[in-house]
Structures are given as structure tokens and as C-alpha cells.
Structure 1
């Protein structure tokens, strides 16, 4: 993994040169000074994301000063200077910087070398981007397998390309800003903080905060700054025309077409494809470890890795197969009810792996809170992201740069409680012959699930007032998952924002993020469970779980996390499975088994305890005492002066939240909202965000 920061001058920008007879003629000293200024800016920008790549730094600036590509390197494959970026084509006409990892690249490289005259200059996986582009044009993205953000510039075609992986595992932000000379330039970077030295003056996007656009579409919390969508690429042609296009999307089978495969066939298919995804991710020139919690997702990764090492002699990156697998974890206070380290300990003992963990108490969470917010670049309604930030310290302290992690299992194997309603909303006609759930039982369980879902969200301080029928739900075949996704919107906005931005409905934002062709499939051909999984993956997975619980808190400590359960070859297979093997009714026990097919596929590699354990989502504790480190921290951040400085928050609505949120009978809703507002204060101070003002 690495960090990138790039600048593209748009049409109308003064480049201090003119072209005649095929030659560039510069305006002497002015051109040189401009060049020096851009390089200085770029280096200052890279300083802001140095944590993403502490091992090396490089840049390339076009002769006409229009294009600048900057890169900081976390050396994983080809540790020699040959692996440094930017990369250039043999003719020096195509240039690229890459953040991320490509898998199966040895095979791709051999294929390119046998069918073209391309000569590689390194052993790095990243260089295949240029070779594939030369051979396939814009279709090069279809051949990339892994997590990545890529920026490529073709001098001859005058086309600038920025692409992001299929699930949005790696971040890529962009904005268009004045260049200070009457023109404009596009800035693209792995993190928004990299824009600060490039003339960007951050302002709140209050509409995006109110309607949750930062979480459910291409907007961010900052005005004028967007995300390149997962599975998309952005092009700028001839320094003028900007366009974002999709190259990949999730899809699901017709809910009425019978699936003739037996459960045993499907279990074996998942097992083989997951082992393959893990096997590919054990290739590196540095050691590889594993994040291990008390859940099945990380445990199956650890179990399968141990199996591959012991039975196939697969090496853990640069470590020989004889080395012990090393797992990392954090432990919360045992009395909190959120500590899973004892289960992880038993799993590690059963597997015979080395197990390193860090104890996290309240003081440790409070100490890391503000830095974790700075790295996440958006708010969160709990402290899970601070826990993940702390977890990423552990492999770094043990000398590891790469870890395997279990993100994506809940999204693809129906692991979240909110999915149960939508699974039960319609019968699974595709798997009627192998379904264990009778129609009368389905109807009975559906009504029970709806009641239980409301009770659960009430218990964690979520807003359940919008769980009823609505136009938004009707547009998505009445799935209730969108109500769960919108349950934590803070109701703290100043009165002027209602007039300035009108009705802001997060559920409508979620609906509109799915394009018309997808909404047609949701209405006519996809089972409601699959519709819910699609919508969740396009929102929470991409914009929260893979950011503040993924890349951002991992790369804060220069840790590359690899996600086998988001391998697109694997997920395409999983998406094609019928709903009733993901959520499975167990008639003898009269309960549902979430992620049933993953449990069955993983059974040889995990303990009986984990195989039988009910889903328990990773979470930091939510109840904290008065006058403790977190209480004091939030009181210091949520002063009247600091909150009013934000400009868009009503102090009358938030002034008492800290008092309500702490103590034995603390209000969980107040605690969640207080955390969000405190995080906004941190972002405002760290980024220097201007006070929001009503503009009518």
C-alpha cells in the first residue's frame, strides 16, 4: 500500500509555455519557477500522507507542467529501488502511480511477456498497470485483481485516468480548485488532507452531512470534494472533459430461476474459492500476519492460512513455511461485555499460532481519539474506529507491514441482523427444493423479526421512527435495511439549515445512489435479501467499514491490510448463491444461522466453539463512567464556543449530551450523538474548516 497525490492543470491554466513546430518553448525563468513551485507543493502534500508510505518517495512532472504525479511508498513487493514509483512505459510516454496490491500478477506478467514486447523494469506488481494499459487500453481495469487506486497519464492521447477497485477498499478523492492564476486544476489524492498544501480551503458540505451523502454516494463531508466510486474510473481528456464511468458492479441471479446445485456443491465451491483468494494474498517480499478477533470471519482466515502453510508449504510472504503464523488482536476490559480476546486466545491455541494482543482501556481509547479522527476524515457514532486504530499498532510494533483481515464476510454471507427482515420478506423460490424454511414458518418469523429489529435499534440509541412504509422503501421493493442504515443520523442541525437545504432524507439518498437499472432489478428480479446486501455494500461497506475500520486506521500505522473475502472472483460466486444458504433456518434448534455456508465451508479450519457461535459484531464498549478520561475529553471538545464555531450545529440540541451519555445509566443515543459532534470539532480544528454559514 502507498499514498498518491496528483495535480492536473485543466484547460485555461497558464502553463508558461507555447508549442510550435512540435517543440515546447518555455518562458524561461518563469517556467522553471513554476516547476519548482509545483514540486514543492507536491512534496508538502506527500508530507501529509507520509504514514501511507514511509519507505520511499517519488514524483514525475510533465515537461509542460500540466501533470504532476506524486507517490510515497510502503515497500511490499520488490523492495529494491526498481520498485519505486512513479512507473513509466519503455517509451516514457505513459506514467502511473499505484496505491494497493494486485494479485495473480506473476501469471499476468508471464502472459504479457509471452504475447507482447513489453520489457518490465521491476518485479513490482504495480508495474502491470502500464503493461495492461498498453495492451488493452481502458479495459486494463478488468484484468486487475485486488485492492487498488491507480492514476495513469497517457501523454500521446492526452488522457488522464484515475481508477478505484471494485469494492472501494482503497480510497481516492478528487476536487477541482482555482490555480491562483485565473484557471483551475484537478487534485487527486489518497486522503483529503493531502489537498491542504495545494491551495484547498476546506468547507463543510452541510447538505451531505444532513442527508448522509458522505456515507451513501460520491460526496464527502467537505464541499466540492468527491470520491471516485468503487468499480469506477475517472477520465480527463485533453485537460478539459471530465467523466466518471463504471467498469464493474455486483449482480445477483433472478429470484425465480431454480438453482439445481446441492448445498454440498455450494459449500465446496465457497471453500475452494476462499482458499484460492487467501493463497494469492500470501505473496509478498515482507512477512505477513493476520488480524484475529473472536468472530468467525477472521478465524476462518487464520485457520485457512494455517492449513495452507502446514499442508501445502505456502510461505507467509518472505517468511518460510516453517515459520509460525502470527495473529494480532486487542482486548477491551473484561467486564465491558465487549472483550472477545479470550475466544481469540482459544482459537490461537487450537491452531498453534503465535498470538500478540494489546490491552485497551478507557484511557488508551481517549488518548488515541483525536488522531484516529484525523486519519478517518469523517465522523463515527461509536468508538469502534479508535479500537481499530489501536489494533493496527500491534503488527507495526511486531515488525509486520502486511496483515490479512476478514472485512466483507457480513456483507456477502448475510451476517448483519438487519438482513433477516429482508430475507424473510419473500420466499426463496430459487432454492425451494433445498430450503429448510416452510412458508408458514417464514410468515411467522417475518413478523417476529420486524419486532425484534425495532427493539434492537431502540436499545442502541438509534432512530426507529422511519422504519415504516415510505416512497424510498417502495422504490427498493420495501426492503427495511435502508431504514437501519439511516438510523444513526444526528438530529442536531441549526434551524437555518432547513431553509438552506430543504428536506434532507437519508433514505432517499440511499435509494438515489442506486442507478435506474439497479432499481429495476431490485423491483423485478432480485430477492430482497440480495437487494439489501447490494445497498449496504454501496454505502456502509465502502464509506465506513473499509475506511475508518479499514484502510485509514491501518495505513495510519503503515499497515497494508489484505481482504480475501472481498476478492471479486470469490464474491461473484457468492453473489450467485441462493439466499437460503446464506441465512439458513435450523428447524431442530428453531433459529436462523447467519453466514451458514461460510460456517460450513470453514468447519474444517475453525474450532467447534466458533462454528456454533452466534454472530457478535466487533464493537468497542459503549458505557463509560463520569469523570473518566473519555468524559473529560468530550467535555473539553464540546464547549459552547467550539460547537458554535462549526456553524451548522444547534447548541441548544447538543449542550446536554455529554451529561446524558455518561454514567451507569448513560443514554446510548446521547453518547453516539456526542461522539459525532466531538469528532466534527476535531476535524474542524485539525483541517482548519471554515465556519458554515447560511447562504440562500
Structure 2
């Protein structure tokens, strides 16, 4: 795990590039505190920067990595799994390696396969490869966007970075914020590829960007090399249950085994959910020795899963370490730091809690954890997916199961579950229905719009963020698919990368130089999961049925039978101490001076909304206002933090 950044500026290469490269590295030193390197070439106008977190090849993995015979240079962030087998095959073909790093296989695979080399890569990665002979730069991001990568194409060159803050260290990168993106962040959901800054784009998951020099400029081609492709409805793999179960189990064993490989100790994150418990159980079986397990415990029993996590740890003999996160821990400077590292706003302070956990894990001495993200996305785990399954699968027409499920999850009303049905014509056109997962955020948008200033509304014009999200989805991946597959696909393309893997994953883990490895998001596991019929993913109202059965032998009975429980931090209104802490942030970042300086909100309307929030005891509406306040505070803080 590392940080990468750079610039290709053939006609405007700066004399002070060495100093700029050092500043770019400093901005992302948290991603790689074990050393940094750079390749600076005024002749080609190329500057490539790398900060290193040493995981594999501790003494021989410095970057950039050169293949001088072919004129290739690489900087990589992340891990390539199964690299030892690939190195052996490449050696047989006559390719020689100069390092022990897993990253070097990308150079040799590129030499052998050209641009098709990405199909042979397995893991979590974002990297940049420069081909001097062809005068082209290739940016690649892993299939789900586990590792971040941003870019900007400007008049003075092409710029990139693992984090936008490293790019903004270069004086030729613009730093103006985009009003449309600010609106998207206020309602939580971003358009794929969009960032908070004008002209800075996120490379989309499963994509590569090919930047070729053409005279004094560049030809830029975006190419998708992988997508979460579900089969047409009725064309899933109809197999005996036991075969589905065994295939899932075998795929997960292989994925976890790969992610246990490192030249440093590997631990596990452990919540009270099936996914992280399954990971821990399998890791313990594979490793055949106690595994270190880290658990977050909240000071609110309604949201705390530590007791179930402890039962799992005891079952497999894990060495459990519980971090108790209190109300005061989730706000103040910790909240601001989470915004800084995430480079976006967030609706819930879970990201703050995870940042505190990553700090604790590093303090204890670990650099790598295996995590459970991705299981819900692939196996139909979220309550929102079940809602659509019950609503739109003809086999469940008239069923009351969806409403009963919502009642059991009433505590999440106002956040991840909408209290009433709402639709949008763009989603009806693209998907045939408005997915349940976006409906709560549409209700947030309803509450946000009246709070905006006239000047900000004028900047937005008639922009419709919901339509922009809907029309960003590839219709060819939705047409003819089962409703559950449509719901999962639309979430994978938006919320998985923009939320789960961002402020819930890489960005808050790497804030403290901790590499997280989500075993369920191995693309071999994913391709298997997407071919499993919907009725096997969700069986008789039981979400992730096939995963439960595959992991039944390692799970405690209480967890095996437990319904999915959304893992999030208690909202501010649920506790007087939290309310007092968010009030301090409101006073600091939503003052009259701040509101006037940023021009996003109407001061009177926002103030009235805050006062109403303080006096109300409506859980659903207060949860929604908690969300709006989190976003508003973060948007105002962003300018100062950057």
C-alpha cells in the first residue's frame, strides 16, 4: 500500500519540480511513511512520485520501478495477488525481475500482453505506467475502486494522485469547488467520476485511462476493462444448493488465503456482522493460529455489536482488541481530520470511528487488516436490496415481508431506509423502478433544497442530481436483469466506491498507514456471486443465505440466525453528549461569517432548521437533519482543511 502522484508536462515542465514533488509526497505521507521516491525527467516533462508503506519485499520494493530495456516506469498503490505464480510464468517466458515486489509483475505483463495486461491482475490497486517508446501514460484502477486515483487534464499538463490533496500541492492544478458536486455531497450520492473540485476527476473503477502525447497536447482515452456484469434474468447458474454453497466457500478460502500473505503480520476487523465474522473464522482456520481481531464498540447499546463480535472471537480463539468509541470521540478535531483524509463529506460518523480504529491498530503494531466489505453488495445483504426484491420480484407480489422488514429496522429510518416510497422518472426510465437505496437520499435532497441560498440555486440552474446519477448507469448492464441484480448493480456503481470504500474504507484506514484488504471484493468471488440466482442469495427473506450456509460451520448460532444490521455510529441527536459536541462544530463552521463566506446556504432558513432540530423528538426527521448537518459542516470545513 502506498501513495502515488505526478505530472506529465512536456511543454510546461517547471524548474522547481523537485520541490513540488517533495510537497506532493508530503501531502500523502500518511499513505506511505516508510520512504519516498521520485522520477523527474525535464526532457520528457515527466514527474512520478511515490510514498511507500512496506508490506511485501520490505527491503527491495522501492518505487518508481524501471524496466529500462523496454523504457517503462511504474508507480503502484495496492497489492497484486497470486503474483508468485505469475512471476514464475513470466520468467519461463524470458522476463527478468529486478525486485521482489509484487508490483513489478505489471511491467512484465504489459510487455507481454499490451493493454490487455489488466485482465491478468488480481487485487486492490491503482497504478500509473509510463511507456517512453510509445509516449503514453496509462492509469489503471482496480475493478471496484478499492484504491483511489484522481486526475486532471489542464493546459499545463496532465496530473494525477492517490489523493486530491497531493495534486493540489502542484500550483498548476485548479482548486475551485464545483457547485453541482457540493449539492451531490449534501445528499450523499456522487455521480461516478465526480469529485468536489472542478476539473479533477476520479478514475472510475474497472477503468484505465490512456494518455498519449500528440504534439504539444494529449489524446485521452477512457477504457472500461471490467464491470459488475450480472446475467440476464433466467440465465443465472441453476445448481443444487450444496454446489452453490461449496463454490462460495472455496472462492472465499482462496481469496482470504491470498490476503493473509504479507511480510508483516495481518489482522482482521471484526464487527458483529456475518461478513467480518466469516473472514475471521476462515482466516483462523487457514492460519491455524490465533488471529488478531479489532472491534469497535459504541457507547449506545442500540448501535453496538461488540458482544456478538466477542462471541465470534471466543469461538475461534482470536486475540480480540476492543476500542470503545465515546460520544466526544466522534466530533471536534477527529471529525475534521476524517473530512480531510476522506476529501468528501459523510452522512454518519462511522468514518470517524473507523479512522480512530485504524490509528489504534497501527499503534498496536499492525499494518494490514482483512475486512468484510463487499459481501452485502454481491450477495444481497442490505435491507434496501431486500425491499426491492420483495417489491419488484413477481414471485413476491402482495407480500408484506418488505414492510415487516422495515419495522424491524425502524432505528435506521431517516438514514439508510426511507420512511415513505418516493420515485424519480429518470430511474423509472433507466431501471424500471426507483431503487430503495437512493430513496432516503432523495428525501435528504428534499430537505436540503429549501436551505440553499438564492445565489447558490442560480449556480445550479435546472441541474437535477438524481437524473445525473440515473443516467450515469450503463443501460446495457441493467436491461433484462432481475430487480435484485439491478438494485445491486446501481449501488455497486455509486455507493460502494463513493461511500463504503471511501470514508468507510481506504481513506480513513490509510489516514493512519493501514492497508485494508476486502476479501469479498476479489473479482473471482464477485463473478461467482453475480451468477448465483437471486432466490439463492435471498432465500425465504433471509439475506446472504448462500454465504450463511457456506460459513455456517464457523459462525456462532446467534449470528447465523441474525438479520443484517446496518453498521453505523449513533447519530448526534441520540445522546446529549453527542448533541453538545455537534453544537460546537455548528458554532465553528456554520456561523454567520462562515455561511456568508461560502454562500451555499440561506442563513435564516438553515438557522431555523437547526433550532427545529434541537427541539424535536422525531427520530426519523432528526436522523435526516443529523445527516444534513454532518454534510454542511464538512462542506464549510473543506476550504480551511485544504
Normalising to structure 1: TM-score of the pair?
0.86
Instruction: Quote the residue 2:555 is aligned against.
Output: 606
Counterpart mapping for 1:407-422 below 5 A: 407-422=373-388
Instruction: Quote the residue 2:546 is aligned against.
Output: 597
Matched position secondary structure for 1:634: helix
Instruction: Quote the residue 1:315 is aligned against.
Output: none
1:611 & 1:454 partners in 2: Cα distance?
18
Compared with structure 1, are the counterparts of its residues 469 and 152 closer, same or farther at alpha carbon in structure 2 (3 Å cutoff)?
A: closer
CA offsets 1:361-417 (integer angstroms, 9 cap, x no match): 111222411111100110111211111111112210110000000000111111111
Please tell me whether residue 505 in structure 1 is matched to residue 478 in structure 2.
Answer: no
Matched position secondary structure for 2:548: helix
Counterpart mapping for 1:397-476 below 5 A: 397-427=363-393, 439=395, 442-445=397-400, 448=403, 459-460=414-415, 467-468=422-423, 470-476=425-431
Compared with structure 1, are the counterparts of its residues 446 and 302 closer, same or farther at alpha carbon in structure 2 (3 Å cutoff)?
A: closer
1:211 & 1:673 partners in 2: Cα distance?
12
Match of 2:43 among 46, 64, 79: 64
Please tell me whether residue 121 in structure 1 is matched to residue 113 in structure 2.
Answer: no
How many Å apart are 1:423 and its aligned residue? 1.4
Compared with structure 1, are the counterparts of its residues 85 and 291 closer, same or farther at alpha carbon in structure 2 (3 Å cutoff)?
A: same
Deviates further, 477-486 or 232-241: 477-486
CA contact (8 A) 2:370 2:518 kept: yes
1:452 & 1:480 partners in 2: Cα distance?
19
Matched position secondary structure for 1:270: helix
How many Å apart are 1:593 and its aligned residue? 0.8
Please tell me whether residue 339 in structure 1 is matched to residue 304 in structure 2.
Answer: yes
Compared with structure 1, are the counterparts of its residues 459 and 233 closer, same or farther at alpha carbon in structure 2 (3 Å cutoff)?
A: closer
2:360 & 2:405 partners in 1: Cα distance?
40
1:56 & 1:579 partners in 2: Cα distance?
47
1:461 & 1:165 partners in 2: Cα distance?
27
Compared with structure 1, are the counterparts of its residues 459 and 501 closer, same or farther at alpha carbon in structure 2 (3 Å cutoff)?
A: closer
1:392 & 1:455 partners in 2: Cα distance?
30
How many Å apart are 1:468 and its aligned residue? 3.2
Counterpart mapping for 1:187-336 below 5 A: 187-199=159-171, 200-211=173-184, 215-238=190-213, 239-257=217-235, 259-310=237-288, 322=289, 324-333=290-299, 335-336=300-301
Counterpart mapping for 1:603-642 below 5 A: 603-622=552-571, 623-625=574-576, 628-642=580-594
Compared with structure 1, are the counterparts of its residues 214 and 424 closer, same or farther at alpha carbon in structure 2 (3 Å cutoff)?
A: closer
Instruction: Quote the residue 1:174 is aligned against.
Output: 151
1:149 & 1:196 partners in 2: Cα distance?
19
Please tell me whether residue 4 in structure 1 is matched to residue 1 in structure 2.
Answer: no
1:643 & 1:220 partners in 2: Cα distance?
22
CA contact (8 A) 1:565 1:571 kept: yes
CA offsets 1:106-153 (integer angstroms, 9 cap, x no match): 0011010011x2210111101111111111111111111001001010
Normalising to structure 2: TM-score of the pair?
0.93
How many Å apart are 1:232 and its aligned residue? 0.3
Instruction: Quote the residue 1:132 is aligned against.
Output: 109
CA contact (8 A) 2:426 2:470 kept: no
CA offsets 1:539-596 (integer angstroms, 9 cap, x no match): 00011110100000000000000011000001000000100111111xxxxxx11111
Instruction: Quote the residue 1:162 is aligned against.
Output: 139
How many Å apart are 1:466 and its aligned residue? 7.1
Compared with structure 1, are the counterparts of its residues 446 and 593 closer, same or farther at alpha carbon in structure 2 (3 Å cutoff)?
A: closer
Compared with structure 1, are the counterparts of its residues 596 and 451 closer, same or farther at alpha carbon in structure 2 (3 Å cutoff)?
A: closer
Instruction: Quote the residue 1:530 is aligned against.
Output: 485
Instruction: Quote the residue 1:28 is aligned against.
Output: none
Match of 1:106 among 68, 77, 84: 84
CA contact (8 A) 2:294 2:322 kept: yes
CA contact (8 A) 2:127 2:140 kept: yes
How many Å apart are 1:210 and its aligned residue? 2.5
Match of 1:44 among 23, 28, 35: 23
Deviates further, 441-450 or 296-305: 441-450
How many Å apart are 1:96 and its aligned residue? 0.6
CA contact (8 A) 1:90 1:119 kept: no
1:375 & 1:395 partners in 2: Cα distance?
17
CA contact (8 A) 1:214 1:221 kept: no
CA offsets 1:634-667 (integer angstroms, 9 cap, x no match): 3222211112211222222322444444578372
1:270 & 1:607 partners in 2: Cα distance?
19
Compared with structure 1, are the counterparts of its residues 461 and 493 closer, same or farther at alpha carbon in structure 2 (3 Å cutoff)?
A: farther
1:339 & 1:464 partners in 2: Cα distance?
23
How many Å apart are 1:175 and its aligned residue? 1.2
